[in-house]
Amino acid sequence: MWKEFKEFIMTGNVIDFAIAVILAGAVGLVVNGFVSDIIMPVVGHFAGGMSFENLHHALDGNEYPTLAAAQEAGGGVIAYGKWINTIINLLIVGFVLFMIAKSKIRFMGAAPDPGPTPDQELLAEIRDAVKK
């Protein structure tokens, strides 16, 4: 069992996947910082100086000046400003991954056509024999 596990872990696909997950986490942190520290302050400035981080709805019916104050009060809080930031993060990460994939295809070229598999070749021969 240990040998099978070792073979499974050492296959290229598992290692590639692990690298991709680690890089995705790092890219996510960078994008999150970019959105919260650069993009959202600019958007908030043009939206009348509002901070999206503090957009919330307190479920106890009271008004609180900040999200932190509403959370300290102990009632339920819907923090929809954070959700807006998360959606913007998702869009930026998706765009960055799209650009990376597009660049990879441009610089490395499209994958060459591997041609038919032996099974497909055999089926083609059978098809041609039946046609005759």
Q: How far is CA 6 from CA 2, 16, 17, 21, 48, in A?
A: 6, 15, 16, 20, 58
Q: What is the pLDDT of residue 125?
A: 92
Which tens digits make up the pLDDT trace of 21-77?
Answer: 898 888 888 888 888 788 878 877 887 777 777 788 888 888 888 888 888 888 788
Report the CATH superfamily, name and number, of domain 2-131. Large-conductance mechanosensitive channel, MscL; domain 1 (1.10.1200.120)
For the chain, the structural domain boundaries read 2-131
Which token pair is 35?
Answer: 């959105």
57 SS3 class:
strand
- Stated pTM of the model: 0.55
Report the alpha-carbon distance of residue 119 to residue 97 in Å, rounded: 35
C-beta separation of 40 from 53 below 8 A:
yes
Report the alpha-carbon distance of residue 68 to residue 21 in Å, rounded: 32
Mean pLDDT for 74-91 is 85
Output the CA torsion 78→80→85→90 (10° steps).
Answer: 90
